Copies of this chain bind each other. A is one copy, B any other.
Amino acid sequence: MSKKPRILVTNDDGIHSPGLRLLYEAVKPLGRVYVLAPETPKSASSLGITLHKPLRIIKTKLWNDTSIYMTNGTPSDIIYLALEELSPHFDLVVSGVNIGDNTSIQTILSSGTIGAAAQAALLGIPGIAFSMDVTDATEMEEDRETRDNIVRVIRIISSWVLKHGIPKGADLLSVNFPRHVTKSTEIKIVPAARMKFLQKVSVLFDPRGRKYYWLYGTMVDPEPGTDIYAVHVEKAIAITPLTLDLNIHGENWDNVKSALESLARLLREHLEGEERENR
């Protein structure tokens, strides 16, 4: 008899996000499920890790008396905390469902939802991030058909990954849902666009007349064949496989390395002081 797979459910919107409950509901039948999520929203926390302060884990009950855990840590912290405190191994980490889609590399790199799945991937645990094109929590729940379809899709993808693993060549999967998911919704396997947002700063004045700034974005015109286009224009479900390899390969590496070797030669001429054994 095979052992039940162990699944960690987390997010970056915090324990009270309906997306967390939806994700829990979706993967619950698939194995032994643990929930550890931030006590408060950690949106755009990226792969940030908390090194400068103590972290706590508090057990609480939610959703018809389900035991869940909350922490003051980030989504990336959570992977390490869960391995320490909840289970020494996981077969799958699912993160989300994020309020707001995480399309484009610009967004992916600053997303806590994807950060959690990426940290899992770095540790060799299959990770999947789920996000949805809504602007607030209530929109996630308002359409029953969409909600039920999302639960189905998450369950099938998670079950598929438990069986087959993340496809070789990829490190993790990011899945973005459109606002409505019906029987006609298409499913696209698409790469991430590079940029999603153009402008980013709003300048405002507080009641005492002092200037402050608020970051926001206006969406670029999306290119066909990208995750943004799939979700925002085609209203499709976008499945985007991602790599965490930031190194440069092949011919590109040869060219970049050779350009930088000329810089290195220049640097070697300019180090000063006594010759000395450094090793």
| Residues of A in contact with B (beta carbons under 8 Å apart) | 41, 43-52, 54-57, 73, 76-77, 80-81, 83-85, 105-106, 108-110, 112, 115, 118, 122, 145, 148-149, 152-153, 156-157, 160, 164, 167-170, 173, 178, 180-189, 191-192, 194-195, 200-201, 203-204, 206, 210-216, 233-237, 239, 241-248, 252-253, 255-257, 259-261, 263-264, 266-268, 270-279
On whether the beta carbons of B276 and A183 are closer than 8 Å, the reply is: yes
Q: A259–B84 Cα gap in the complex (Å)?
A: 33
Tell me which of B47, B194, B256 contacts A168 (CB under 8 A): B256
Bound form: Cα–Cα A201–B215 in Å: 33
B183 & A271 in contact (Cβ 8 Å cutoff): yes
CB neighbours (8 Å) of A244 from chain B are 105, 109, 194, 246
- Asked if A191 and B248 make an inter-chain contact with CB atoms under 8 angstroms apart, the answer reads yes
**Cα distance A47–B274 in the bound complex, in angstroms:** 40
Given known pairs A157-B267, A201-B84, the reply for A235 and B279 (CB within 8 Å) is yes
In the complex, A196 Cα to B183 Cα: how many Å? 45
Chain B neighbourhood of A173, CB < 8 A: 260
Contact present for B272 and A145 (CB under 8 Å): yes
A273 with B49, Cβ < 8 A, contacts A156-B267, A164-B259 known:
no
Closest Cβ–Cβ distance, residue A253 to chain B (whole Å)? 8
Q: A255-B167, A263-B160 are in contact. Are A272 and B152 (CB under 8 A)?
A: yes
Q: Are B182 and A215 in contact (CB under 8 A)?
A: no
A153 touches B55 (CB 8 A): no
Is the Cβ of A267 less than 8 Å from the Cβ of B215?
no
**A185→B159 CA distance, assembly (Å):** 52
Q: Tell me if B187 and A122 are in contact (CB < 8 A).
A: no
Q: Complex: how many Å from CA A76 to CA B201?
A: 12
Does the CB pair B201–A170 fall under 8 Å?
A: no
> 29 A-B Cβ contacts within 8 A?
A44-B50, A46-B47, A46-B109, A46-B115, A48-B110, A54-B204, A54-B214, A56-B210, A83-B201, A84-B200, A84-B203, A85-B203, A85-B213, A105-B245, A109-B118, A109-B122, A145-B272, A152-B271, A153-B267, A164-B259, A167-B259, A169-B255, A170-B252, A182-B276, A184-B271, A187-B264, A235-B279, A241-B260, A242-B246
Given the known A-B contacts A145-B272, A255-B169, are A187 and B80 also in contact in the complex, defined by CB atoms under 8 Å?
no
A170 touches B80 (CB 8 A): no
Q: Which residue in chain B gives the minimum CB-CB distance to A48?
A: B46
Q: Is the CB of A182 within 8 A of B105?
A: no
Complex contacts, A183 vs chain B, CB 8 Å: 271-276
By beta carbon, the residue of chain B nearest A146 is B273
